[in-house]
Chain A
Amino acid sequence: GAGVSQSPSNKVTEKGKDVELRCDPISGHTALYWYRQSLGQGLEFLIYFQGNSAPDKSGLPSDRFSAERTGGSVSTLTIQRTQQEDSAVYLCASSLAEAETQYFGPGTRLLVL
């Protein structure tokens, strides 16, 4: 079946602009996670959804970052007033239920000029 999909695959933006990153999880997966991977760094947890609610937002780096999930499916990560340090690969993962194996999408490469 189809895996996790993300769009866009690449995004170049200017400092100060807002960006939206989209994640479409594997059908039937109730848990959805956003991670960030900066050059030379490990994967950094951002936010977790169970259904449409986000019980854990502890990884969001600042209030410029927000995310939502609708219909228990698609999620959007929004970064407002982007900064150069936001440049990274943003990865989405989903799992059948919490604590189950997480499967990753191909990621969105964000470059803030």
Chain B
Amino acid sequence: QKEVEQNSGPLSVPEGAIASLNCTYSDRGSQSFFWYRQYSGKSPELIMFIYSNGDKEDGRFTAQLNKASQYVSLLIRDSQPSDSATYLCAVNGESGAGSYQLTFGKGTKLSVIP
């Protein structure tokens, strides 16, 4: 049973600060890693994906992957109130049944305080 763990939060940060969101996963065979943002009542929206160890930057967002530690994180620099949402970590890898379903964590709720 693949598992993806996230702190449920809420994580509160002041506007302009760095928000750090963390995720661990159980399946060493996992191949790709995704961060989705989900506003209340809306569907998940892709923020970033990462496949290789190290850092990947896109604007204010940086994803970090450490496969040896089975750990992936998302940093949000210069946090804005509009970043307030639930952030879902998702892991993809061949399931053994021939599909590449995403396994999701339960999400971390981020609140950016003006």
Contact with B along A39-61 (1 / 0, CB 8 A): 00111010010100001101100
Q: Is A55 a contact partner of B97 (Cβ separation < 8 A)? A: yes
How many residues belonging to B are interface residues under a CB distance threshold of 8 Å? 26
B71 close to A (CB within 8 Å):
no
Q: Which of A59, A91, A101, A107 has a CB less than 8 Å from the CB of B101?
A: A59
A76 to B113, CA, bound (A): 42
- Of residues A45, A58, A98, A102, which shows the largest number of chain B Cβ atoms within 10 Å of its Cβ? A102
Contact residues of A: prevailing secondary structure: strand
Q: Which of B42, B43, B46, B101 has a CB less than 8 Å from the CB of A33?
A: B101
Contact with A along B76-114 (1 / 0, CB 8 A): 000000000000101010110111111111110000000
Which B residues form the contact surface with A (CB < 8 A)?
31-32, 34, 36, 42-46, 49, 88, 90, 92, 94-95, 97-107
Which A residues form the contact surface with B (CB < 8 A)?
31, 33, 35, 41-43, 45, 48, 50, 55-56, 58-59, 89, 91, 93, 95, 98-99, 101-107
